[in-house]
Amino acid sequence: MRNIKLPPKEVLENSFIADFHIHSKYSRASSKNMEPRQLSYMAKLKGIDLLGTGDFTHPHYLRELKEFLEFDSQTGFYVVKDAKDGACYFVPSAEISLIFNSKKAPNRRIHLILVAPNFEVVDEINLYLSKLGNLLADGRPTFGVFAERLVLDLMKISRDILVIPAHAWTPWYSVFGAFSGFDSLEEAFGEATPYIYAIETGLSSDPEMNWRISKLDHITLVSNSDAHSPWKIGREATAFFKPITYENFYRAIKENKIAYTIEFYPEEGKYHLDGHRACKVVLTPKEAISLGNRCPKCGQPLTIGVLHRIEMLADRPEEYVPENRAFSVHLVPLMEILAEVYELNPQSKTLEKLYLQFVNKFGSELNLLIKLDLNTLREELPEKLWIAIERVRSGKVFTKGGYDGVYGTVKIFEEPQAEEITGPRQKSLFAP
């Protein structure tokens, strides 16, 4: 059983929830519905108060953002024009990819989240980036520039820009990735390291895993969905203490004073364990090391997962809990809960109707999952659904770890079905 403790009521009531790393319809493999009005609608269903715009580097999308959003001077964020009460706020955000040769090794690959205070600063960022590469190529453009140089140049544009390493532990395109990254922020960013206030833990790791690394104690651990479709927003998020202002948002990240994060179970992430997808081989770090990090079936190198990589850099034991850390809330998305409770196909229209029925009744998905009192819900929900939500809140779930691009599985009432794979039986987080 995972030791789950929800934030106290006063924290839940005095904080706002942000998901500021998403993508637009101009990114590869993204839904055509990833545009401001649809995102604002979905954020309300999910219970997200602040959403990143995503992809502000793409000229066509930036034009749409400027057309549909207007600046709210009271908060320093943006809102959809003519939005009704309850609509979410937006903050300009984008993800970029850097591919460069470091002093110690070639072919370094890092993804960075950029957050800007307003569209005027965004225009300056895009002017700078346009000299480094083609902004029209993708919603997440790629540049061949050192991370250190890029961050220092962005700070010359505005110190109010946030630069955050995205999904910091995934094997490829991340600051600590097994195949592309570095062993420390200082190694990656050099003189620009003081401007890196946070890292995004990603779907395959959580704050608890990152607590094992003492060098990250002063770094804010944020979580976001990295969504490519509206239904995925809010699957991970970060909560900030009120007021809802850019200044407060920026300062909380800079000073490591967030309220809590909303997490995937990291086992569900698609790079949690080591493995080789082509051979359906999945291994723990200890087993992978014993095999020389090679697939026992074909002999090819394994994809080294996040758990293994953290184990390599950790200087603290498992279960270490630092002082004054933010709360970490692990959830199963409501659509997954409903699909299991009602035994429905995840893609069925019936499931979508059920989702909307419960969300409209209780205000938002996150109201159901973490905010509303369980005793109150017991009187309002079907019994099995109430039991499912209670078990998710208390960490009584079963998991099967993801590997090499294959998502893991979280189940509430029974262990996930085993596949014909090489490796250990995945652990249960629920002690019957």
Where b means 16+ CB within 10 Å and e means fewer, 389-416 reads bebbbbebbbbbbbbbebbbbbbbeebb
pLDDT at res. 418: 55
pLDDT > 60? residue 423: no
Which pLDDT tens digit goes with each residue over 343-364?
999 999 999 999 999 999 999 9
Q: Which two tokens stand for residue 265?
A: 């179970």
Q: What are phi and psi of 88, to 5 degrees?
A: -80, 165
Q: Give 19 or 423, the one with higher predicted confidence.
A: 19
User: In this structure, what DSSP letter does residue 371 have?
Assistant: I
Which pLDDT tens digit goes with each residue over 59-115?
999 999 999 999 999 999 999 998 776 779 999 999 999 999 876 667 899 999 999
Whose structure tokens read 């969905």? 225
Compute how many other C-beta atoms are within 10 angstroms of the C-beta atom of residue 18: 29
pTM of the model: 0.94
H-run or E-run covering 283: strand 281-283
pLDDT at res. 429: 37
- Domains in the chain, start-ordered, CATH in brackets? 9-267 (3.20.20.140), 333-394 (no CATH)
Q: What is the mean pLDDT of the chain?
A: 93
Which pLDDT tens digit goes with each residue over 18-29?
999 999 999 999
Q: Tell how many helices (H) and how many strands (E) occur in the chain.
A: 15, 18
3-state SS string for 16-57 = EEEECCECCCCCCCCCCCCCHHHHHHHHHHHCCCEEECCCCC
